[in-house]
């Protein structure tokens, strides 16, 4: 093929994807990082700040207190997902992949259902259920004789973050479940037959044969959870608004970024500081991804069957 | 080692009966091969002996002990799987010792048994390797080693050679035969390859549609197949079948004329029969004769000293006859084929052997 | 095997979890049809003829542009899926089929977006969209979502295209097809199952997203259903009938589609799961 025709061919096939992706994904990411190194003056001009914005963000108490608060909350948000969502997902996947299980498709379909719905809708639904006005939650606790435990969890500083995290867990448990379920289905039946002949019961076969074989998937689920959690915003915005109340107790990086960039009742929007926060989020996420790629993934043995 | 006795065994999935009334005795130290087309129930029967499938009726006894309700690990069996089913995340030694660990056997004993099996199977240099670092033949030997260390009463093999290439398959077949002698083991072996069945078995069990069609010594099945199915299944190329009718003093074959053969008792004139004869019992003949049929050569396949001639008879039926040496036959030649009267098989309308 | 007790335990756990997953949804949809008194007095009972009251729905469909928001969401989602599949398949084909300098580098460049969320570039995206005069347009959303979904689409489709036997393309070349025809008439039809998987991966997050509609098209009747419901709920927060009806209006169509297509959808998710 002549050189020119070949070039036209590549341009035709690759051009649209590379153009859209570069313009709306890579360029904005780079521009955001660059933005974070400038500050906007009142006259609209941009002034080079170097790492000044980051110094402000990390050291100036007006900025650093909310920042560290959001980062800490985000880690708690992530840890709750790791410790609750993923183990439940694993348990459900393990049960769903049992041989000769009846109603398998029905369970799978229904349990995955909340994952399909918008976070906004889910946030509101739970807000109603937990609301003392409607009293559904209290009704349930009363039924078990535990009515004294009821509190407006979403409105109390000490419990709001945990409650919001658990709602998110409830919605997204379908994702680890489906990913792990798929990995379990890929394990050949003969391997489990061999374990049965070797004298393992179903539980032992899970722990000693299946689990070691799905570590790569569990690793993947973990990093996906990490990236999604540090990128979260919708649920908290829908349930608690941009101010992530009460008293910023549910503030995570996404809401802090939104508030800083757009401004709110308390402050004016600040694109430069917003960019600095976005850059910090990028650093956190990339650190997580790097840890996964270079420390975790390399030590996990992958198997093909 | 022990005897395996199966009585009136049946199994159904819903309304589908996959095993029907199976009666089978595997003698102490015997090598029994289950053969049959795919879906005939041979693997299901093996898995039922292993305890991997529940049965619907009948009894399985191993070494005098009824095992129907015992878990696989308590049946004192060991199984070699088609895909080997080695644990990918364990090295060879761990793979072999894994079941023993769960049986609560002391570590030193496990190590001793593993190294003994490794010695027998020449796996010693490979003990620290993972399955994916092994060749197909080596994996196969590990799978056998994993069975040996259990010191089972019965070895069960599920098509163990089907994933190997042709050359390795012959080697491994010989190895398995030697191992059988060495361990004096009772073996039940499933295959769809009749060469494996003929060469390995003390007893072959031919299965079809969930039933046992015939069981017996390999050559008995070859020389005296009990029915059309077994006659057609054992032997390669397959036995030729000619449709006909009993007439006085012989069999009428329609357009192919009639041939004079000694009729077995019970063959009355007018009865519809099928005449069976293997390619190796047919030969090219010059001119007509009592047991000669006129034929046109369709194709000649030469394999060297021997070969096969595909011949179209007057009735349109195509038969295959073995040829030896230089016959000079070529496509289109008109010739005659002679049937060896000592090796004619006669089957009734129900497919059963007559006489 | 043969342990009814453990089978019972398995069904008990799965059944309880299924109830937990369904309960909030059922509760909201059920109560959206009831009069206000019944919502508060007997929230756990299904609606009866005596307490049936569709006032919530009346308010939702009178006071808001919900039907238009549905249309916006459908347009945006369909547009994003279309361009993600078309551009993604084209790029995946070129990357797997043609050897050129920087091939690997370009593949790596295109895969950055799998792990780095595009949201982090929002500040610059808004500026860019403003400069292009696309604020409050569905075009902006379609472009951004296409950019967001392309990396994973290219990754999945490349793996799939690489599995198509080389003989098939060689045969097509021998038959005199141009490279363009090979792609559009042979490759595209063959990778339809993988495209279905990508469509599923694209559809759910795009339909449900709140962030970009909030940033790029928050007004002017260009809201998506997710944003529209969010704004409506904020406005009518104290009107329980309206809130429950709005939530149900957002839930029910999605669930109906989900139930109809769940088999294909789960198959798509399980077959295309990132390995």
A96-140, pLDDT tens digit by residue? Answer: 988 788 888 889 889 998 988 888 889 888 988 888 888 788 888
The verdict on a CB contact (< 8 Å) between A197 and B99 is: yes
Asked if the C-beta of C43 comes within 8 angstroms of chain A's C-beta atoms, the answer is yes
B205 neighbors B230 (Cβ within 8 angstroms): no
Beta strand extents in chain A (DSSP E only): 38-40, 46-48
C2 inside 8 A of chain B by CB: yes
| CATH number for the domain that contains residue B93 | 3.40.50.300
Task: Say if A209 falls within a structural domain.
Answer: yes
Decide which of B173, B199, B232 is a domain's last residue. B232
Residues of A in contact with B132 (CB under 8 A): 303-304
- Of B75-79, B151-155, B254-258, B336-340, give the lowest mean pLDDT range: B254-258
pLDDT of residue B214: 94
Residue C262 lies in a domain: no
Q: Could you tell me if residue A30 is inside a domain?
A: no
Cα A208 to Cα C162: distance, rounded to the nearest angstrom: 35
In a domain, B63, yes or no: yes
How many domains does chain B contain in total? 2
Q: Which residues, at least 6 apart from A83, have a Cβ–Cβ distance to it below 8 Å? A: none
Q: Which has the minimum average pLDDT: A85-89, B51-55, B264-268, C146-150?
A: B264-268
Same domain, C17 and C108: no
Span C67-110, pLDDT tens digits: 888 899 999 999 999 999 999 999 999 999 888 888 889 998 99
Q: Count of CB atoms within 10 A of residue A38's CB?
A: 18
Indicate the SS3 state at residue C181: helix
Q: Is A106 at the interface with chain B, CB within 8 A?
A: no
Statement to judge: residues B165 and B210 lie in one domain:
yes
B151 to chain A, minimum CA–CA distance in Å?
A: 12
The answer to whether position A73 is within a domain reads yes
User: How much is the pLDDT for C266?
Assistant: 73
Comparing CA positions, the residue from B233, B254, B229, B225 lying closest to residue B242 is B254
Find chain B residues with C-beta within 8 A of A304's C-beta. Answer: 132
Partners of A108 on chain C (C-beta within 8 Å) are: 266
**Chain C: partners with 3+ C-beta pairs within 8 Å:** A, B
CB contact, 8 Å: C26 with chain A? no
Task: Please identify, among B182, B201, B232, the residue that sits at the C-terminal boundary of a domain.
Answer: B232
Nearest residue in chain A measured CA to CA from B51: A197
Q: Which of B37, B32, B13 is nearest to B211 (CA)?
A: B37
CA gap A39, A55 in Å, rounded: 13
Q: Does one domain contain both C169 and C150?
A: yes
Q: Total domain count for chain A? A: 1
CB contact under 8 A, A27 and C262: no
Same domain, B107 and B78: yes
- Report the chain C residue with the minimal C-alpha distance to residue B52: C1
Which residues make beta-bridge pairs with B320?
B310
- Which chain A residue lies closest to B100 (C-alpha atoms)? A198
Asked whether residue A212 is assigned to any structural domain, the reply reads yes
What is the predicted pLDDT for the residue at C274?
A: 39
For chain C, say whether A24 makes contact (Cβ under 8 Å).
yes
The answer to whether B72 contacts A196, with C-beta atoms less than 8 Å apart, is: yes
For residues C192-204, give the mean pLDDT: 83
Please report, for the domain that includes residue C220, its CATH number: 1.10.3720.10
Q: How confident is the model at residue C273 (pLDDT cuts 50, 70, 90)?
A: very low
Tell whether C72 and C50 lie within a shared domain: no
Give the model's pLDDT for residue B200: 92
Question: Are B54 and B179 within one domain?
Answer: yes
Q: What secondary structure letter does DSSP report for B239?
A: P
User: B352 lies in a domain?
Assistant: no
> pLDDT at residue C1 above 80?
no
In chain C, which residues have their Cβ closer than 8 Å to the Cβ of A226? Answer: none
In B, which residues are within 8 Å of C1 by CB distance? Answer: 54, 71
**Residue closest to B162 by CA, chosen among B185, B196, B132, B188:** B196
Domain limits at A234?
Answer: 64-299
Q: CA nearest A211 in B: which residue?
A: B89
Length of chain B in terms of residues written: 355
Name the least confident of A263-272, B44-53, B122-131.
A263-272
Q: Indicate the residue among B205, B232, B259 that finishes a domain.
A: B232
Other Cβ atoms less than 10 A from the Cβ of B124: the count is 10
Residues B306 and B188 grouped into a single domain: no
Same domain, B131 and B244: no
Are B52 and B157 part of one and the same domain? yes
B296 in the same domain as B221: no
Q: What residue numbers bound the domain in which C112 lies?
A: 64-235
Residue B189 confidence (pLDDT): 95
Which pLDDT tens digit goes with each residue over A266-302? 777 888 899 999 999 999 999 999 988 888 777 777 7
Considering only residues 181 to 220 of chain A, which have any Cβ-Cβ distance to chain B shorter than 8 Å?
188, 190-191, 193-200, 204, 208-209, 212-213
Mean pLDDT of B191-210: 92
Question: Is residue A70 a part of any domain in this protein?
Answer: yes
Contacts of A121 (CB under 8 A, 6+ apart): C226, C229, C247, C250, C251
Distances (CA, A) of A226 to A30, A140, A288: 22, 33, 7
Q: What is the pTM of this model?
A: 0.87
How far is Cα A139 from Cα C44, in angstroms, rounded to an integer?
Answer: 10
User: B47 and chain C: CB distance < 8 Å anywhere?
Assistant: no
Whether residue C101 is found in the same domain as residue C230: yes
Q: Are residues C54 and C73 in the same domain?
A: no
- Integer Cα distance of C201 and C75 in angstroms: 17
Number of helical H runs and strand E runs in chain B: 8, 20
Residue among B320, B293, B341, B159 at smallest CA distance from B232: B320
C30-52 mean pLDDT: 84
Which pLDDT band, with edges at 50, 70 and 90, does B106 fall under?
very high
| Structural domain containing residue B264 | 238-347
pLDDT at C271: 63
Interface test with C, best of A121, A133, A182 (most C CBs within 10 A): A121
CA distance, residue B240 to nearest chain A CA (Å): 39
Q: Is some CB atom of chain A closer than 8 A to the CB atom of C112?
A: yes
Q: Is residue A26 part of a domain?
A: no
Q: Which chains have 3 or more CB–CB distances shorter than 8 Å to chain B?
A: A, C
pLDDT at C5: 54
DSSP C77-118: HHHHHHHHHHHHHHHHHHHHH---TTHHHHHHHHHHHHHS-G
Q: Which of A197, A204, A304 sits opposite B72 (nearest CB)?
A: A197
Confidence of residue C49 (pLDDT cuts 50, 70, 90): confident
- Which residues lie across from B17 on neighbouring strands? B12
Contact C90 A17 (CB under 8 A): yes
Q: Does residue C2 carry a pLDDT above 60?
A: no
Tell me: do B160 and B294 sit in the same domain. no
Three-point CA angle B127, B131, B134, nearest 5°: 80
SS3 A132: coil
Q: Is the dihedral of CA A195, A199, A202, A204 positive or negative?
A: negative
Same domain, residue pair B243 and B228: no
- For chain B, the average pLDDT equals 90
Burial label for A243, CB within 10 Å (0-12, 13-18, 19+), is: middle
In a domain, B166, yes or no: yes
Co-location of B166 and B207 in the same domain:
yes
- Do the Cβ atoms of C47 and C30 come closer than 8 Å? yes
Best interface-test mutation with B: which of A99, A186, A199 has the largest number of B CBs within 10 A?
Answer: A199
ipTM value: 0.87
Residue C275 confidence (pLDDT) above 60:
no
Residue C267 placed within a domain = no
Model pLDDT for residues C126-155, shown as the tens digit of each residue: 989 999 999 899 999 999 999 999 999 998
| C46 pLDDT above the threshold of 60 | yes
CA distances to A39, B91, B218, B286 from B126, in Å: 65, 9, 37, 62
Degrees (nearest 5) of the Cα angle C179, C184, C190? 110
Would the CB atoms of A285 and C110 count as touching at under 8 Å? Answer: no
B8 and B44 in a single domain? The answer is yes
Chain B closest-CA separation from residue C2 CA (Å):
9
- Cβ atoms of residues B293 and B314 within 8 Å: yes
Which residue in chain C is spatially nearest to A101 when comparing CA positions?
C7
- What CATH number is attached to the domain comprising B282? 2.40.50.140
C-alpha separations of C77 from B60, C209, C252, C260 in Å: 61, 10, 18, 18
pLDDT tens-digit readout, B328-344: 888 988 988 988 888 99
Asked if C95 and C223 sit in the same domain, the reply is yes
Query: How many angstroms away from the CA of C157 is the closest CA of chain A?
Result: 13
Share of chain B above pLDDT 90, in %: 58
pLDDT band at B36 (very low <50, low <70, confident <90, very high): very high
Q: What pLDDT was estimated at residue B354?
A: 86
Q: What is the mean pLDDT of residues A194-210?
A: 91
Mind listing the pLDDT tens digit for each residue in B272-302?
A: 899 999 999 998 887 767 788 889 999 999 8
Asked if the structure places residue A247 within a domain, the reply is yes
- The whole-angstrom distance between B57's CA and the closest CA on chain C is 15
B288 in the same domain as B175 = no
Confidence at residue B226, expressed as pLDDT on a 0 to 100 scale? 93
Give the total number of structural domains in chain C.
Answer: 2
From A96, A231, A279, residue closest to C117, measured CB to CB: A231
Q: What does the pLDDT read at residue B66?
A: 92
Same domain, C89 and C12: no
Asked if residue A110 belongs to a domain, the reply is yes
More confident residue, C167 or B289: C167
Structure tokens at C164: 């198509």
């Amino acid at each position: 093929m002549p050189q020119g025709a070949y070039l036209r061919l590549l341009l035709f096939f690759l051009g649209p994807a590379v153009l859209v992706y570069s313009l709306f994904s890579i360029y904005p990411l780079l521009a955001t990082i660059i933005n974070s190194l400038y500050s906007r003056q009142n006259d609209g001009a941009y002034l080079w700040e170097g790492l000044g914005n980051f110094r402000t963000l990390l050291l100036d108490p007006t900025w650093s207190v909310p920042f560290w608060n959001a980062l800490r909350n985000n880690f708690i948000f992530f840890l709750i997902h790791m410790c609750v969502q993923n183990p439940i997902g694993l348990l459900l996947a393990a049960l769903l992949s049992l041989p000769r299980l009846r109603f398998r498709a029905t369970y799978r379909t229904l349990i995955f259902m909340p994952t399909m719905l918008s976070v906004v809708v889910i946030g509101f639904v739970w807000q109603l259920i937990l609301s003392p006005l409607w009293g559904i939650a209290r009704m349930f606790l009363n039924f078990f004789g535990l009515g004294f435990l009821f509190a407006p969890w979403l409105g109390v500083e000490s419990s709001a973050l945990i409650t919001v995290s658990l709602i998110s867990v409830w919605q997204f448990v379908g994702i680890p479940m489906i990913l792990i379920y798929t990995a379990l289905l890929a394990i050949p039946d003969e391997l489990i037959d061999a374990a049965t002949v070797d004298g393992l019961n179903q539980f032992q076969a899970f722990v000693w044969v299946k689990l070691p074989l799905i570590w790569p998937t569990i690793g993947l689920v973990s990093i996906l959870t990490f990236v999604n959690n540090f990128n979260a915003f919708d649920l908290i915005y829908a349930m608690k608004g941009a101010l992530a109340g009460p008293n910023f107790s549910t503030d995570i990086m996404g809401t802090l970024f939104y508030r800083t960039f757009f401004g709110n009742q308390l402050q004016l929007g600040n694109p430069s500081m917003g960019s600095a926060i976005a850059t910090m989020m990028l650093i956190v996420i990339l650190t997580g991804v790097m840890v996964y790629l270079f420390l975790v993934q390399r030590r996990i043995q992958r198997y093909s069957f | 080692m022990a005897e395996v006795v199966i009585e009136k065994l049946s199994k159904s999935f819903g309304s589908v009966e996959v095993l029907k009334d199976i009666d089978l005795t595997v003698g102490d130290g015997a090598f029994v091969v289950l053969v049959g087309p795919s879906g005939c129930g041979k693997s299901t029967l093996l898995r039922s002996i292993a305890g991997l499938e529940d049965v619907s009726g009948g009894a399985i006894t191993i070494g005098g002990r009824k095992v129907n309700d015992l878990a696989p690990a308590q049946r004192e069996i060991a199984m070699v799987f088609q895909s080997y089913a080695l644990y990918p995340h364990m090295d060879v030694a761990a793979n072999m010792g894994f079941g023993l660990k769960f049986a609560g056997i002391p570590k030193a004993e496990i190590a001793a048994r593993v190294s003994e099996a490794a010695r027998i199977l020449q796996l010693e240099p490979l003990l620290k390797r993972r399955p994916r670092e092994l060749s197909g033949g080596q994996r196969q030997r590990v799978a056998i080693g994993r069975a040996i260390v259990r010191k089972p009463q019965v070895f069960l093999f599920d098509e163990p050679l089907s994933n190997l290439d042709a050359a390795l398959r012959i080697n491994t077949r010989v190895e398995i035969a030697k191992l059988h002698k060495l361990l004096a083991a009772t073996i039940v072996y499933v295959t769809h390859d009749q060469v494996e069945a003929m060469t390995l078995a003390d007893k072959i069990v031919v299965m079809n549609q969930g039933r046992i069609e015939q069981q017996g010594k390999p050559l008995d099945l070859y020389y005296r197949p009990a029915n059309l199915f077994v006659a057609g299944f054992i032997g390669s190329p397959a036995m030729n079948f000619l449709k006909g009718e009993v007439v006085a003093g012989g069999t009428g074959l329609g357009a192919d004329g009639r041939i004079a053969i000694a009729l077995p008792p019970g063959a009355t004139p007018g009865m519809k029969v099928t005449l069976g004869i293997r390619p190796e019992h047919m030969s090219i003949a010059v001119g007509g004769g009592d047991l000669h049929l006129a034929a046109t050569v369709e194709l000649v396949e030469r394999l060297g000293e021997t070969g096969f001639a595909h011949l179209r008879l007057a009735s349109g039926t195509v038969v295959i006859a073995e040829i030896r040496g230089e016959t000079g036959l070529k496509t289109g030649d008109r010739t005659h084929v002679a049937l060896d009267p000592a090796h004619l098989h006669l089957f009734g309308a129900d497919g059963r052997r007559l006489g | 095997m043969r342990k009814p007790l453990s089978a019972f335990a398995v069904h008990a756990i799965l059944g309880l979890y299924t109830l937990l997953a369904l309960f909030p949804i059922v509760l909201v949809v059920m109560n959206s049809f009831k009069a206000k008194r019944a919502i508060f007095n007997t929230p756990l009972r299904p609606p009866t003829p005596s307490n049936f009251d569709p006032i919530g729905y009346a308010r939702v469909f009178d006071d808001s542009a919900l039907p238009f928001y549905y249309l916006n969401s459908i347009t945006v989602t369909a547009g994003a899926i279309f361009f993600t599949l078309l551009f993604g398949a084209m790029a995946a084909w070129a990357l797997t089929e043609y050897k050129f300098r920087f091939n690997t580098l370009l593949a790596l460049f295109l895969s950055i977006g799998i792990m780095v969320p595009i949201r982090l570039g929002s500040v610059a995206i808004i500026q860019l969209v403003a400069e292009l005069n696309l604020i409050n347009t569905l075009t902006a959303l379609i472009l951004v979502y296409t950019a967001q979904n392309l990396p994973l689409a290219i990754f999945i489709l490349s793996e799939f295209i690489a599995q198509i036997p080389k003989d098939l393309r060689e045969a097509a070349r021998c038959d005199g097809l141009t490279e363009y025809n090979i792609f559009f008439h042979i490759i595209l039809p063959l990778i339809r199952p993988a495209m279905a998987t990508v469509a599923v991966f694209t559809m759910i997050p795009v339909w449900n997203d709140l962030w970009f509609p909030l940033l790029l098209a928050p007004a002017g009747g260009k809201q998506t259903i997710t944003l529209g419901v969010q704004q409506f709920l904020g406005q009518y927060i104290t009107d329980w009938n309206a809130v429950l009806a709005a939530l149900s209006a957002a839930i029910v169509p999605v669930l109906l589609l989900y139930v109809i297509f769940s088999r294909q959808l789960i198959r798509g998710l399980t077959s295309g799961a990132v390995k």
